[in-house]
Amino acid sequence: MTSLQWPDLPDLPALPPLPDFPGAAAQYVVAIPLLAALLAFLLGRTSSRTAAWTVVTGAVLTLGAATWQLYTISVGVVPRVSETVGPLALGELTVPLTLSASPLTAITAVAVALVALVVQVYARWYLWYDPRYRQFAATVSLFSGAMLLVVLSGDVVLTLVGWEVMGWCSYLLVGHISAKASARRAAAKALLVTRFADLGFVLGLVALTAGPGSTAIADIVDHWRAEPGTALTVAMLLVIMGVAGKSALVPFQDWLPDAMEGPTPASALIHAATMVAAGTVVLAQLFPLLQASDPARTTLAVLASATTLLAALLAFAQPDLKRLLAWSTVSQVALMLAALTAIPVGEGPDTAVLHLVSHALFKALLFLALGWLAVLAGGTLVSYAVSGVRRYGSVRRPLGIGLLALAGVPPLVGFVSKELILGSAEAGVQAATPGPALIVLAAVGAGAPLTAAYCMRAWLILSRPVLVRGNGRTGEQLDDFFAEPEVMVEAVGVEEAEAAISSPARAGITTLSLLTVVGGVLPLTPFFDVELHLNVPLLVASLLLMAAAALFVLAASRGVRTRDAAARLPAVLNLAAERGLGADTAYLTLVARPTMALARGVTWLDREVLDGYVRAAGRAARLLGRGGERWSPVQPAPSLVLVLAGVLVLAVIGVVLR
């Protein structure tokens, strides 16, 4: 094994000094999207155009502020801690409510802001005729603001605020088409599953806070580093429970594929840069504490590794390409969290955050491009999407780049971030406590060919040659004067595809494609401090495995009409995969039904037992009072006068006694 020091790029050239803005960049990054959401909601009441301008302007300004922040941090402008609405006067507890920016969080913020901008632009096209575009755009803006708050938070209370607001926004976005029963159900499920897991998150943060008596992340890290032990382990396990909910780890994984009911821009936002990635961000902020507690690390490693493999397997068998992408998100996010546990003690969480940024780019690209295709082809089910990129040539490049990056093919950004994770896991195995790293190494090693397999499957379906079209030009046929030549058909497809989308939305997709291709240089930038654990045999082995898996899928797809390799699987397996292995039923049986039964029991007890005493007392009082009923006033006004007279009498007594 060779260990190289990754060469840093030379320092950025010194730009002319920026004008002195009041306040810190982080404050702008968080405040602008929140304000834009409010303004869009208030101003856009009569016109979607106003709302669109507001949110897009907000998103551009946010991206500008995030970039400015990245720049100031890279040139070493130190005041990175900035205030918000705090500190709060909460007695013994110190709640400073500060934001704090580091190179890692700053670059994450840029990625989030970029994806949010592209999604906003895209949504204006995608929801052009939606009467609730205003609400959607405002919610997306609020959502990205909440995510940026989590990313830049220097205080666990702010983290919790952003975390919960994101959960709520996901409810609104997933249930956007609220007239649809399945969307309502998916929205409720997303909120309830994540909120249930947040039980652990809230208690974990409270337990962490109770140690130093302060909610500042810096204080918490300092305090618990000095005294690790059972208390820290319990708190971290609770936090991990919350993270597992938001990031859709086993056993909370099932809400995320269902969240596909939301409009495509919402899916892109939830899956790429916000919500599911929040868990990685929070654990990266609490990274020293995760490393200080081996049980917590091992638990997370096991959960994340199991999830990444399971989700990759399920992704392969999905009959709907959008759900395939959803399961691939589950798999990739679990990979980030697994990376956190595998990093050798003493190193920073850079590789995990790098994968977060890389995943944000290519996953947003994939979702938006697939949404484009869905508009053209009428859906994302295999039967609709088949031959998609042949018929509509314009979506070929973005989808191809996205799938290659997802599969981890060099030199795209997905390859770089995955290989770095593999490398750091390999290094982690050499460390003192190799347990988590070993599990993760195995999972990443097994996950790479699986990912390649489902990406290959999707590509084979999408790029199947157009078999029959019009009057059947394939095979032997007389030359028909009216049949359009192949070239014409393709040209018409491209024209249709380009006419369907707005040029800003298309520019957003192109930007993401470009960044996915060149993003591989990210670890060379000074924002990432990546220890390069280069292991050439390991790298070659993983690439070979991926190639073998892809070839296997290619072989399996031969002879299937749609070139769908998953069609070779038994129908039972396909059905089970589509239903997420019955996790939904398990949630209902294990949690929902017992809770409802308990609720019915409680109301029965309340009515028959607790209220019974009150009723009995009431009857007794009635009986006693019946005798005196004749003299008691039954008209309201006289009794009111009597009360006042009583007050008057009391007052007079007071004066007299004096």
What is the binding site for other proteins (CB under 8 A)? Answer: 85-86, 88-93, 157, 160-162, 164-165, 168, 171, 175, 178-181, 184, 187-188, 191-192, 195-196, 198-199, 202-203, 206-207, 209-210, 213, 595-596, 598-600, 602-603, 606, 610-611, 614-615, 617-618, 621-622, 636-637, 639-641, 643-644, 647, 650-651, 653-654, 657-658
Q: What residue type is 498 in one-letter code?
A: E
Q: Which residue has the tokens 């770089």?
A: 416
Q: Which two tokens stand for residue 638?
A: 């006289």
Nearer to other proteins, 411 or 618 (CB): 618
Give which of 169, 171, 114, 178 is closest to 146, Cα–Cα: 169
| Cβ at position 610, least distance to other proteins in Å | 5
| Cβ at position 246, least distance to other proteins in Å | 14
Looking at the DSSP bridge assignments, the partners of residue 3 are: 533
Q: What residue type is 38 in one-letter code?
A: L
Q: What residue type is 315 in one-letter code?
A: A
Contacts of 164 (CB under 8 A, 6+ apart): 198
Contacts of 184 (CB under 8 A, 6+ apart): 175, 178
Q: Which residue has the tokens 């919790």?
A: 160
**Rounded CA gap, 292 and 506, in Å?**
46
Nearer to other proteins, 161 or 517 (CB): 161
| Cβ at position 158, least distance to other proteins in Å | 9
Rounded to 5°, angle at Cα 408 from 402 and 410: 100
Nearer to other proteins, 180 or 558 (CB): 180
**Rounded CA gap, 199 and 244, in Å?**
11
- For residue 450, give the H/E element and its range: helix 435-462
**Rounded CA gap, 642 and 636, in Å?**
10
| Cβ at position 261, least distance to other proteins in Å | 12
Q: Most distant CA pair in the chain: distance in Å?
A: 121
| Cβ at position 438, least distance to other proteins in Å | 34
Nearer to other proteins, 281 or 427 (CB): 281
Nearer to other proteins, 94 or 510 (CB): 94
**Rounded CA gap, 613 and 607, in Å?**
10
| Cβ at position 219, least distance to other proteins in Å | 15
| Cβ at position 176, least distance to other proteins in Å | 10
Nearer to other proteins, 118 or 260 (CB): 260
Nearer to other proteins, 206 or 507 (CB): 206
- For residue 426, give the H/E element and its range: helix 413-429
Q: With contact defined as beta carbons under 8 Å apart, do 576 and 318 qualify?
A: no
Alpha-carbon dihedral sign for residues 549, 350, 58, 515 = negative
| Cβ at position 376, least distance to other proteins in Å | 27
Nearer to other proteins, 488 or 644 (CB): 644
Nearer to other proteins, 51 or 422 (CB): 51
| Cβ at position 491, least distance to other proteins in Å | 41
Nearer to other proteins, 206 or 532 (CB): 206
**Rounded CA gap, 417 and 423, in Å?**
10
Length of the chain, in residues = 658
Helix (H, G, I), strand (E, B) or coil at 2: strand
**Rounded CA gap, 147 and 158, in Å?**
11
Alpha-carbon dihedral sign for residues 77, 80, 83, 84 = positive
| Cβ at position 564, least distance to other proteins in Å | 34
Q: With contact defined as beta carbons under 8 Å apart, do 225 and 288 qualify?
A: yes
**Rounded CA gap, 241 and 628, in Å?**
63
CA–centroid distance for 129 within its chain: 26
**Rounded CA gap, 393 and 40, in Å?**
36
| Cβ at position 132, least distance to other proteins in Å | 9
Rounded to 5°, angle at Cα 450 from 444 and 451: 85
DSSP structural state of residue 276: G
Rounded to 5°, angle at Cα 410 from 405 and 415: 55
Nearer to other proteins, 34 or 306 (CB): 34
Peptide bond preceding 251 in cis form (omega within 30 of 0): yes
| Cβ at position 423, least distance to other proteins in Å | 39
Q: Which two tokens stand for residue 455?
A: 């990406």
| Cβ at position 644, least distance to other proteins in Å | 7
Rounded to 5°, angle at Cα 550 from 545 and 553: 125
Nearer to other proteins, 165 or 326 (CB): 165
| Cβ at position 163, least distance to other proteins in Å | 8
| Cβ at position 265, least distance to other proteins in Å | 20
**Rounded CA gap, 381 and 461, in Å?**
11
Nearer to other proteins, 175 or 580 (CB): 175
Nearer to other proteins, 188 or 547 (CB): 188
Nearer to other proteins, 108 or 139 (CB): 139
Q: What residue type is 430 in one-letter code?
A: Q
